[in-house]
Every structure is written in C-alpha cells, then in structure tokens.
Amino acid sequence: MNEIFGMTDLDMISSLADIINDKELSEITITDGGRTLTLKGRKCFPAPLSAASAVPAAAPKAEPAPANEETGGNIVKSPIVGTYFRSPSPDKPPFVKIGDKVKKGDVIMIIESMKLMNEVQSEFDGVVERILVTDGQPVEFDQPIMIIK
C-alpha cells in the first residue's frame, strides 16, 4: 500500500476525515510531490466570529420581520447560522406543520450550530402558511425559514 507523510493512504484519509469533523472544516487539501488529496466536509461554515460579534449562549429567538407584501404573512428568519431541524429528534413529530396554529413563544424549530441545539420560538401569533427550508438544511443568519399569517 502506498504511503504519504509516513502513513498508509487509508490511515491518512481516516485521520484527515477525523480532523474535518472535529474542527468542523469545510475541506482540507494535502499535497505530496505530484499527489494532491482534497477531502470535503458535510457543511461549509463561515469564517469565525470575533468575540465582539459572537452569538450569545442563550437560546436565540427569531427576530420579527415585517409582513411580506407578496405573501401577506410574517417572515420568521434564522437567528444564527446553522442547520434547520423541524423536530427535536428524528423519531419525534415536527414542532409545527403547515396549517398549525402557533402563539408567540411557542417553539417552532431547532437551529443546530456548533453542536448546540438552539430552540427558536415564534415571535408571532398565527397559522404556519409556508416552511421555506427542508429538514436538515443548512441555513444562514437572517435567512427566511417560515411564513406565519
């Protein structure tokens, strides 16, 4: 079996995959002579935040957005960068579905960020009209997630 940097190829690939997962990297590239190996992670994360702009540890709340003239509803936006989850676990029912009534303060989703599950509460009373993302989808800060009328 070939060796690169004193390790077998499989050992190296396994070690690099562990580094990508542990450090939550989007990709890593290693070059040895004429050989180049690039491994990509599952998620692409933004550049680290400075201490002044870091997200507080408390569970975030979705900021109210003005009613959207096209939809006629209130837009719930992601309060942080992360992954949208519609239920607390894969074997549990979703927090909300289209047509569900919600009240201000009801938990309507989870945004997982840096291995922390952040429950997001509704800032609106109303009915869930649309869910704009799919379960497990990466979301950006301020990205529209849901419309509540």
Per-residue model confidence (pLDDT) at position 8:
59
Beta bridge partners of 67: 74
- Per-residue pLDDT at 77: 94
**pLDDT for the residue 16:** 72
How far, CA to CA in Å, does 80 sit from each of 2, 3, 84, 87? 43, 42, 10, 17
Q: Is residue 147 within 8 Å of 69, Cβ to Cβ?
A: no
The set of residues, in sequence order, having a beta carbon less than 8 Å from that of 4 and lying 6+ positions away, is 12, 30, 32, 35, 37
For the whole model, what pTM was predicted?
0.54
Mean pLDDT by 10 residues, the chain (149 residues): 56 74 72 71 49 43 47 86 92 94 94 90 94 94 94
Q: What are phi and psi of 9, to 5 degrees?
A: -55, -45
pLDDT of residue 120: 93
Measure Cα distances from 37 to 6, 14, 26, 31 in Å: 15, 12, 14, 6
Q: What is the pLDDT of residue 58?
A: 45
